[in-house]
Amino acid sequence: MPLSPPVSRSLRHTRAITVEAYARDDGLWDLDASIRDVKTQDIPLASGTRPGGTPVHDLKLRVTIDRKLTIVDAEAASDSVPYPGFCETIGPAYKKLVGLSLMNHFRLHLKDRLSGVLGCTHLTELAQVLPTAALQAYADDVFDTRGGAEDNSAERPFELDRCHALRSDGPAVATYYPRWSIKAVSG
């Protein structure tokens, strides 16, 4: 269902976040993420006026992950920043992501290692989308997404109980993953 029609309005700011996933020849995967902020009008910054249509932020983060979703390498680049000569110096800090699992309290560990002055607000925010982007990338390429389609599957599908629609006591699981469906507890 689409959003309701908007009232009269004018665009002032666009934030674009993208993540591209690449299977590498060595068996690892690269997640190339970017965040870009563009204002439609000129904006005054402490470092000078940024013309409308010119990125205020154009930041990139690449993490390399193994098949278990553990980060084995990371790098960051800042191509457009509000404080040139200062913002882009934080890139090497993102090596602190190495060793983290995207599936084991990643966002908590990310905050511990790179929040506040330990990192760039925007790069750290960008990193938060990596777990779900990796799952989407691995779906049916690394992880079996047929799940309950075959009753002989010994492993519980990874996607169960990770969202409202796929809760174990819900109708979608009863329909598509009947082996893993549980009866709702009535209260």
Q: What is residue 150's predicted lDDT score, i.e. its pLDDT?
A: 55
Q: Which residue has the tokens 């009866």?
A: 183
SS3 category, 113:
helix
* Tokens found for residue 92: 């090497």
CA distances (Å), 13 to each of 43, 57, 59, 79, 82, in order?
11, 12, 16, 19, 15
> What is the pLDDT of the chain when averaged over all its residues?
92
Calculate what percentage of the chain has a pLDDT beyond 90. 80
How far is CA 87 from each of CA 19, 70, 101, 152, rounded to the nearest angstrom?
A: 22, 27, 27, 53
* pTM (2 d.p.): 0.85
Q: Confidence class of residue 164 from pLDDT cuts 50, 70 and 90? A: very high
Distance CA 129, CA 100 (A): 14
Q: Is the pLDDT of residue 125 over 80?
A: yes
